Amino acid sequence: MKAIKILEKGIVQVCEVPMPIVHDGHVLLKIEYVGFCGSDLNTFRGLNPLVKLPVIPGHEIGATVVEVSDNVSSEIQVGMQVTVNPYSNCGRCSACKNNRFNACRYNETMGVQRNGAMAEFIVVPAEKIIIGSSLSARELALVEPMSVGFHAVDRALVTDNDVVLVLGCGMIGVGAIVRAALRGATVIAVDVSNTKLELAKKLGAQFTVNSAEEDLQVRLDELTSSMGADVVIEAVGRKETYLAAVDAAAFTGRVVFIGYAKDAIPFDTQFFVKKELDIKGSRNALPKDFEAVKSYLKTGTCPMDELITAVYSPEDAQAALESWVKDPGNVFRILIKF
């Protein structure tokens, strides 16, 4: 069968690989759409320390069930449109014992620590299947990245009384904006792309700040009467945004970090204490976050066509990633259609 592999830095190729074997308790899926995410882009650029090349990328999945093995719930039926929870979990570490399987110490995410879904067919454990209900495979390919932003909002315990500042309006930041708006919060979206900020408004942000054109702290003071944001969600992974998140947080505020910063960051830790901040990490997502995204998409209010920047064939995967490298500011999601 056909599969996409990132062979080395800057090199993508369509390869022939064996059909996967359907073991007991597993499900065979025909892949319809898979999204390229930021970790795939970093793998292509040679900047992902977690990946071992060559690798089949992809974990943002829209697929059709084509075979169900023994010992699988009758809820999963051939012909269903589904997505997949792409994280593994050991069931034994402290995170798993605390029912936070998304943060398993030994997690292996599809397309990163193990081969992913950019192939014609994949086999996954039945418990990782998320039934799409009335959603299409194309819509389902957006569920996983948005669920990561949804999870961060849940970690922050956002309520309708909060002012929520989201740093970064890529797909994960977009998920955070949507979830915070759905909870009734006042949302301020920050990015350096006016295109992304315009979309953030459509998705529920009441205010936007282009931090390349205006001083974020000055604008935040104007919007919050110098109080700061009750919640700051960092969805970029840069030194500048990590530091800005602490500066922007109100006294007794909550800061949630999603992005992986590539460099060591020297924090002025006095503000952790003086502000009595709650500082949290947010990793991946839980099944309830996937379900919440599904419920949102089913409302039909999401501007799907604006979230999907382009759809490519497997043979054009190299061109897809090269286009993203050249113009990262204007790319939300690139899908590969099998």
Kindly report, residue by residue over 267-280, the tens digit of the pLDDT. 999 999 999 999 99
Helix residue ranges per DSSP H, 45-193: 94-97, 137-140, 143-155, 171-182
CATH architecture group of domain 147-281: 3-Layer(aba) Sandwich (3.40)
Give ranges for CATH 3.90.180.10 in the chain. 2-141+303-337
Question: Tens place of pLDDT for every residue, the chain, 338 residues?
Answer: 999 999 999 999 999 999 999 999 999 999 999 999 988 999 999 988 889 899 999 999 999 999 999 999 999 999 999 999 999 999 999 999 999 999 999 999 999 999 999 999 999 999 999 999 899 999 999 999 999 999 999 999 999 999 999 999 999 999 999 999 999 999 999 999 999 999 999 999 999 999 999 999 999 999 999 999 999 999 999 999 999 999 999 999 999 999 988 889 999 999 999 999 999 999 999 999 999 999 999 999 999 999 999 999 999 999 999 999 998 878 889 999 99
Using CA atoms, how far apart are residues 334 and 338, in angstroms rounded to an integer? Answer: 13
Kindly report, residue by residue over 277-290, the tens digit of the pLDDT. 999 999 999 999 99
Using CA atoms, how far apart are residues 176 and 170, in angstroms rounded to an integer? Answer: 10
Cβ pair 62, 140 in contact under 8 A: yes
Give ranges for CATH 3.40.50.720 in the chain. 147-281
Does domain 2-141+303-337 fall under CATH 1.10.260.40? My reply is: no
Determine phi and psi for 223, rounding to 5 degrees: -80, -25
